[in-house]
């Protein structure tokens, strides 16, 4: 019977919370529009994945056959585009300053003769460091050409010694290697960043939505309504559970679209098992909801909630270990990051979704999420209790008297009295 009552209470809270959400246009906007809009924006921005045809300049002082061949090969790489051939380094530097090029390849005067005389020849490469993607493209493009060109020269030199064919191969690379770039072969920016960000979108929209709901409620000084009247002296946990259930149910379709449909739609990696993902996302959602409810207890204004949201989003991206590896964070920040469900959520989702990991592989994250669920569930309960207790104490006496009278009278006017008690309550608060 107690259980049945409890379930009924939870259901009541569920309905009340649903009404509150439905009444707030801003929250509806965040829960259903923003969650879809963010992935679309990311998709549009990072559509090209990689930086291709980065403009570079070639300064060729050797004017030799070899340097021209090198430059031709540079132009042929997908990464680079030899757009300028200035006569001097000074000119090239100016082009770099004007941001027309992102790299300079310089062949000194004796490049050609050194090669012809079987000496070591030198090439200088100058990389623009204003963005790491430029640096990566310029460096990897030039390195690839360098290796190719070296092999060409070496083969020539061996041929001059009368060594040809397979014998050259064996001598040139006694330990050849194949490289396998796992999970996102193109090393694309989108496939690396966006899956993590999708999880963060879920985490942060919940944070903002719940924060705004309670911020608005507090601004209107209706805090007591966070708990329905009938339940005020009963279990706080029924209220907490009921509210959490609301968010969980509302977010089920959202999660389905954002984390399951969008990766497929955008061609992001999605090699994870659906079952494993669902099992992993359940504690993630619960931990996130309770975390947000706990955090919301400290948000007293709608606008400070919004500021916290955006500030936290930036910090959480860097704490997640997606941008900066977890293994290289100072211990303090790594342990700090464990407090946020988003860290585990992003790590786990990326590994299951993009790398095909199983639940066993992410067991640390999985267990941490359950621990966080428990911990934040308790803190939510305690904070809700404290807040309501404090509020109650103020208008308690007046309310108590009125309520007792209303209950005792037990007439058809009871509801009227109760409503009167409400008004007194509100007056007392103000």
Question: Taking CB under 8 A as the criterion, which residues in 257-286 touch other proteins?
Answer: 269
Among residues 23, 133, 159, 397, the one that binds other proteins under rule CB under 8 A: 133
Between helix 363-409 and helix 236-255 the angle, nearest 10°, is 130
Site string for other proteins, 352-391 (x = CB under 8 A): --xxxxx--xx-x---------------------------
Among residues 9, 60, 79, 149, the one that binds other proteins under rule CB under 8 A: 149
| Whole-number Cα distances in Å, 308 to 177, 207, 323, 343 | 49, 9, 21, 17
Sole window of 126-134, 248-256, 284-292, 381-389 interacting with other proteins (rule: CB under 8 A): 126-134
Residues of span 81-100 touching other proteins by CB under 8 A: 96-99
| Binding of other proteins by 64 (CB under 8 A) | no
Number of shown-chain residues binding other proteins (CB under 8 A): 102
Residues of span 296-315 touching other proteins by CB under 8 A: 302-304, 306-307, 309-311, 313-315
Contacts of 382 (CB under 8 A, 6+ apart): none
Which pair of tokens denotes residue 177? 């290697």
Residues of span 233-262 touching other proteins by CB under 8 A: none
Closest by CA position to 204, among listed 111, 310, 281 = 310
Between helix 236-255 and helix 2-23 the angle, nearest 10°, is 50
Between helix 414-429 and helix 363-409 the angle, nearest 10°, is 120
Closer by beta carbon to other proteins, 321 or else 341:
321
Among residues 174, 230, 410, 430, the one that binds other proteins under rule CB under 8 A: 174
Closest distance of CB 171 from other proteins, Å: 6
Closest distance of CB 331 from other proteins, Å: 11
Which pair of tokens denotes residue 251? 């977010």
Give SS3 for 84. strand
HSE-CB at 213 with a 13 A cutoff on CA atoms is 29
Which pair of tokens denotes residue 87? 């006569």
Sole window of 5-13, 74-82, 182-190, 281-289 interacting with other proteins (rule: CB under 8 A): 182-190
Among residues 50, 375, 378, 382, the one that binds other proteins under rule CB under 8 A: 50
Among residues 3, 41, 220, 230, the one that binds other proteins under rule CB under 8 A: 41
Closest by CA position to 208, among listed 315, 301, 306, 287 = 306
Residues of span 189-228 touching other proteins by CB under 8 A: 189, 191-193
């Amino acid at each position: 019977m107690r259980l049945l009552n409890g379930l009924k209470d939870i259901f009541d809270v569920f309905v009340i919370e649903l009404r509150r959400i439905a009444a707030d246009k801003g929250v509806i906007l965040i829960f259903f529009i923003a969650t879809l809009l963010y992935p679309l924006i990311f998709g549009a921005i990072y559509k090209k994945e990689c930086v291709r045809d980065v403009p570079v300049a070639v300064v060729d002082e050797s004017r030799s056959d070899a340097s021209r061949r090198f430059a031709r090969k540079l132009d042929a790489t997908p990464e680079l585009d030899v757009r300028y051939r200035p006569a001097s380094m000074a000119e090239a530097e100016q082009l770099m300053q004007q941001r027309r090029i992102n790299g300079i390849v310089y062949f000194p005067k004796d490049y050609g003769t050194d090669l012809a005389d079987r000496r070591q020849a030198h090439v200088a490469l100058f990389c623009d460091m204003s963005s790491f993607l430029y640096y990566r493209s310029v460096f990897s493009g030039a390195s690839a050409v360098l290796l190719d060109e070296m092999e060409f020269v070496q083969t020539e030199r061996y041929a001059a010694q009368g060594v040809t064919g397979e014998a050259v191969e064996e001598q040139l690379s006694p330990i050849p290697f194949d490289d396998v770039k796992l999970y996102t072969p193109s090393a694309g920016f989108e496939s690396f960043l966006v899956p993590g960000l999708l999880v963060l979108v879920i985490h942060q929209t919940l944070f903002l939505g719940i924060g705004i709901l309670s911020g608005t409620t507090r601004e209107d000084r209706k805090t007591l309504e966070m708990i329905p009247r009938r339940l005020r002296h009963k279990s706080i946990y029924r209220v907490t559970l009921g509210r959490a259930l609301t968010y969980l149910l509302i977010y089920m379709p959202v999660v389905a679209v954002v984390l399951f449909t969008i990766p497929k739609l955008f061609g992001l990696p999605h090699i994870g098992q659906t079952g494993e993902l669902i099992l992993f996302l359940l504690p993630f959602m619960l931990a996130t909801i309770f975390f947000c409810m706990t955090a919301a207890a400290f948000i007293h204004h709608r606008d400070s909630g919004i500021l916290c949201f955006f500030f936290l989003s930036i910090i959480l991206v860097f704490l997640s270990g997606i941008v900066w590896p977890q293994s290289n964070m100072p211990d303090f920040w790594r342990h700090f990051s464990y407090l946020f469900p988003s860290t585990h959520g992003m790590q786990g989702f990326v590994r299951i979704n993009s790398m095909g990991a199983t639940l066993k592989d992410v067991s640390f994250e999985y267990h941490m999420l359950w621990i966080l669920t428990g911990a934040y569930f308790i803190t939510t309960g305690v904070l809700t209790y404290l807040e309501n207790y404090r509020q109650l104490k103020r208008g308690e006496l007046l309310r108590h008297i009125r309520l007792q009278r209303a209950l005792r009278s037990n007439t058809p006017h009871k509801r009227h009295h109760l409503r009167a008690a409400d008004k007194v309550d509100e007056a007392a608060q103000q």
